[in-house]
Structure 1
Amino acid sequence: MSSRLKRWGRGLLIALGLAIGILLIVVFVINRQTPSRGKDALRIPTVRVVAVESLPFVVEARGYGTARPARTWDATANVPGRVVERHEDLESGTLLAEGTLLLEIDPSRYRLAEAEAQAQLASLAAEQAQLKREAENTRHLVALERERLELAEQELARIQRLASSGSVSRSRLGDERRATLAQRQTVQSLENELQLIPSRRQRLEAEVERTTTRLDQARRDLEDTRFEAPYDLRLGEVEAELHQYINAGQRLFRAEGIEAAEVVAQVPMDMLRRLLGTQTVRDAEDGILDIAQRLDFSAIDAEVTLVAGKSARWPARVVRIANGLDPATRTARVVVRVEEPYRQVAPLTQPALVRDMYVQVRLASRAPNPRMVVPATAVHQGEVYVVDSDQHLVRRPVRVAFEQHDLAVVTEGLEEGDSVIVDDLVPAINGMAIDPRRDEELARRLRRQALGEKS
């Protein structure tokens, strides 16, 4: 009996558990709620956009190079001698003004050579005066002797007539003939002397020219003994010392002009081609082949910046494009000139532009026509994301001519007024709804960057 009761109790518990389970399932089914879309599922992404517009655009090209002085003087001795004077500040790095006597070689031997040549010229001048007087005297004597010869000829003719009639002796006729011949010889001798005077004069003139050349050489050698600063300069390496004997051709010192400096900047060819494309090129039909004369380099703005210190800047101008390409980098070599690189020098912020400083050169020229620009980050593998009139995203392919700094110059694919998404939208699904917000600050920054201004 007890076992039967246990079995009935166990079955009752099982049935009760099943009933409770079924009841709970019914309650859950009755109270279930259908899934609803939350606010997160319906959220539309908010993105920044800028309106596309054609802007005045400044094309830039940048290159790097080292500075060098525009003028360099390697002082070399043209004459030998001992150094008798040396400027007390003739040391590397010293700045000296134009006209300063830097060094002098012993001039005594060249002064003696000058004095000797001057004395020789004075002697030759006296000989020329004497020859002139001799020529005048000889001409006078020739005139007198010719008159005597005429008289002698007349007398000879008279004696010959008398001799033919027998009035005078044959001996008298012979004497008269000998006297006449002697007079003829005298006249001929004087005329010969007159004929030799031009050759003597030419010989003296040649001697004068030779002595004048010696005098000029002596004076030039005397000038070469003095080394004066031809312009304001900064000294480089100095090799000459006081009392040192200097040989002709020996290097004394190096000096660099401080009135201007040059930088040969290595500019990539594509950048330079774009920059020169903004200029009007004159035709070569008039025979002008030099590119510097066919282009207006004055329309190109140039600026030199010290790479090690961006605060140090110098205004510059393009003077020429060097021949050929750099063999290592295959870049063009543009030469810019900086006037007065030592002006307004501040040791900490604005140093002087000296030799071998590594600098960056910025070249800029305004394009003749406005360019359509967008941020470079808005271009995604040849596409930009545009918001249409229904505020949906449209992936539009574009053609980018080139990028400059953070800007991309677009030539095809966009129109004025298009709203370009500037945020990096992930995922970017064509046709998805967009909540665009105009970024006016970015638009103003794009305008400044297009003009080459700092943002």
Structure 2
Amino acid sequence: MFKPLTLLSRALAFAVPVALGALAAVNADQLKQPPAGAERAPQPTVVRVVTLAPVPVVPRVSGFGTVAAARDWRGVARIEGEVVATAPELANGALAAEGTELLRLDDTDLRLTLAQIAAQMAALTVKDQTLGESRAIAEADLELSRQELTRQEKLVAEGVATQAKLEVTRRAELTARAKLTEVDNQIALNGAERAVLAAQKDVAERALAFTVLRAPYDLRVGEVSAEVGQVVTKGQVLVTGEGVEAVEIAAQFPIGRIGPLLRATGGMVTDLKARVRLPAPGHSVVWKASVDRVAEALDARTQSTAVVVRVDDPLGQAEAGQRPPLRRNTFVEVVLMAPEQQALIAPVDAVRNGRALVVKDGVLEVRKVAVAYVIGDVAVLSDGLAAGDQLVVTDPAIAVPGMAVKPAEDKALTALLAAQALGQPAKGAKK
């Protein structure tokens, strides 16, 4: 009775493990997959930032103009005459020191005129001596005539002399007085003639001085239009030149860019420092300059004003192979600079339409920003941001307000901005 049950139990004990093994083999691939886990959070986007901090800034603005001499000179013939001598310095481009005799005109006629005047004045001196002696005689004769007249008048009063005798004495006194007057008149005429001759002498001597043309100051000779043997006329330009003690550049500056610069410093245009730059291969040539004056009117087309800067001793500032002397018509850049100050700065591209992005607690945030002025690629900030703010400098197409980000400090850009704010090349950057 119990034998069938025993057999069934044994059969089940064998069949169940076999069935489970077969099921496991069929579902082996499915058992390899791991169990589903929880969703992963997205990684924050990395954005480049610069941490704002006050840095030294030299407010400046650039303009452009051409070099001109501070003083131009034209040597004009003041008299007519033939050129009899010229100096080696009388050549285009030559340097002539102050007082150098550049050319000389024939002075023979003027010297003959002076000799003639001297002879006439000597003759007048002899006449004056003669007239002096004649006057002494005439004066003595008049005195005797007056004494005789007095005696005759007394005799007539006493009844001793006749009236006819008195009249004769009076006529003699009048004749003596007329002779003295004649001598005095001749002396006066001689004095007038002497004054005329003196004036003629001054004219001749002045003309004689004009026979020599000298450099009025240290100059560089320009165009020369006179040579030996040439007869020049009064008023003819013989030579041109320009002073070498200084040059000037009338550079044009947009009035809107100078205004903020002055407001930042509280000064006048003439209080600003100036530098003149000439771009050269591999480096920039720089000259020290000073602001001399500001033009009276604005340019109607460009709304810019001309600021005239002066470079003293351009020849003395020259260095062979490094800094050539400034020459007329050279096109240069003029930089006006205010005193150094501390300010927050940012790349111009990081501030758009008065707004900028900053990283705040790992999230992008929009800030309204005010820019005081711009120096090249550097914006000098006046409001909206503070020291310690992390300003985003990544392309705005990547940075979206409100998104989670991870700031990465751009130290190279920070160094470049600081250098540009001072007008200096960044360390390691190519000039």
Which TM-score applies when normalising by structure 1? 0.78
Judge conservation of contact 2:359–2:390 (CA < 8 Å) in 1: yes
Cα 1:445/1:308, change in 2 over 3 Å:
closer
Tell me the residue number matched to 1:382.
Answer: 354
Matched, 1:451 2:425: no
Question: How big is each residue's C-alpha offset from its partner over 1:160-205, in whole Å with a ceiling of 9 and x where there is no partner?
Answer: 5xxxxxxxxxxxx5xx322222222232344445556666555444
What pairs with 1:281-430 in structure 2 (closer than 5 Å)?
A: 295=268, 297=270, 299-307=271-279, 311-343=284-316, 345-346=318-319, 348-366=321-339, 370-388=342-360, 390-430=361-401
Moved more, 115-124 or 149-158: 115-124
Stretches of structure 2 that go unaligned for 5 or more consecutive residues are 1-25, 427-431
User: For residues 425 and 183 of structure 2, what CA distance do their matches in structure 1 show?
Assistant: 86
Partner of 1:61: 61
Give, in whole Å, the separation in 1 of the partners of 2:77 and 2:278. 37
Report what 1:240 is aligned to: 226
Deviations 1:212-241 (A, max 9, x none): 221111111111111122222221111112
Percent identity between the aligned chains?
Answer: 33
Q: CA deviation at 1:301?
A: 1.4
Conserved in 2, the CA contact under 8 Å of 1:56 and 1:366?
Answer: no
Residue identity matched to 2:115: A
Decide whether the 8 Å contact of 2:99 with 2:217 is kept in 1.
yes
> What's the CA shift string for 1:15-63, capped at 9, x where partnerless?
xxxxxxxxx999879959759767xx72222233233344443221211
Q: How far is 1:243 from its partner?
A: 0.6
1:380–1:274 CA distance, 2 compared to 1 (3 A) = closer
Matched, 1:147 2:119: no
Amino acid at match of 1:366: P
Q: Helix, strand or coil for the counterpart of 1:217?
A: helix
Q: Following the alignment from structure 2 to structure 1, what is the Cα–Cα distance between the partners of residues 31 and 125?
A: 143
CA separation of 1:205 and 1:392: change in aligned 2, threshold 3 A: farther
The SS at the match of 1:277 is helix
1:79 aligns to what SS in structure 2?
A: coil
Question: Quick one: which amino acid aligns to residue 82 of structure 1?
Answer: E
Equivalent position of 1:17 in the other structure: none
CA distance in 2, matches of 1:206, 1:25: 148
After superposition, give the CA deviation of every residue in 1:340-370 in whole Å (9 maximum; x if it has no partner): 1122545543221111111111110127x64
Show the counterpart of 1:168: none
Moved more, 335-344 or 271-280: 271-280
**Which whole-Å CA distance do the structure 2 matches of 1:123 and 1:246 have between them?**
35
SS for the counterpart of 2:59 is strand
How many matched pairs? 400
Change (3 A) 1:437 1:95: same
**Separation of aligned partners in 1, 2:100 and 2:294:** 35
Letter in 2 for 1:187: E
Aligned counterparts of 2:111 and 2:156: Cα–Cα separation in 1: 66
| CA 1:123–1:75: 2 relative to 1, 3 Å | same
SS at match of 1:396: strand
Deviation string, structure 1 residues 411-453 (Cα, Å, up to 9, x no partner): 3322333221122243322222222233445444434433344
Amino acid at match of 2:335: R
Match of 1:156 in 2: 156
Q: What is the aligned counterpart of 1:254 among 240, 243, 247?
A: 240
- Counterpart residue number, 1:3: none
Query: What is the CA–CA distance in structure 2 between the aligned matches of 1:370 and 1:136, rounded to whole Å?
Result: 94
Provide the residue aligned with 2:45 in structure 1: 45
Q: How does 1:80-91 map to 2 (within 5 A)?
A: 80-91=80-91
Contact 1:60 1:271 in 2 (8 A): no
Flag the 1:44–1:244 CA change in 2: closer, same or farther, 3 A.
same
Whether 1:226 and 2:197 are equivalent positions in the alignment is no
CA contact (8 A) 1:59 1:274 kept: no
Which residue identity is paired with 1:228? Answer: R
C-alpha separation in 2, matches of 1:277 and 1:196: 84
Asked whether the 8 Å contact 2:260–2:373 carries over to 1, the reply is no
**Higher deviation after alignment, 434-443 or 65-74:** 434-443
Report the TM-score when normalising by structure 2: 0.82
SS at match of 2:159: helix
Judge which range, 136-145 or 412-421, deviates more: 136-145
Q: Which residue of 2 aligns with 1:110?
A: 110
CA contact (8 A) 1:62 1:271 kept: no
Preserved CA contact (<8 Å) 2:52 2:389: yes
Q: Rate the CA distance shift 1:348–1:179 in 2: closer, same or farther, 3 A.
A: same
Q: CA, structure 1 residues 328+197, in 2 after alignment: closer, same or farther (shift >3 Å)?
A: farther
Indicate the larger mover: 191-200 or 267-276: 191-200
**Conserved 8 A contact 1:99-1:228:** yes
Q: Which runs of 5+ in 1 are unaligned?
A: 1-23, 161-172, 282-294
Specify the code of the residue in structure 1 equivalent to 2:84. Answer: V
> Deviation of residue 328 (structure 1)?
4.8
Q: Output the CA distance in 2 between the equivalents of 1:118 and 1:332.
A: 60
Letter in structure 1 aligned against 2:258: L
Query: Partners of 1:440 and 1:133 in 2: how far apart?
Result: 107
The alignment yields a C-alpha RMSD, in angstroms, of: 3.1
Amino acid at match of 1:386: V
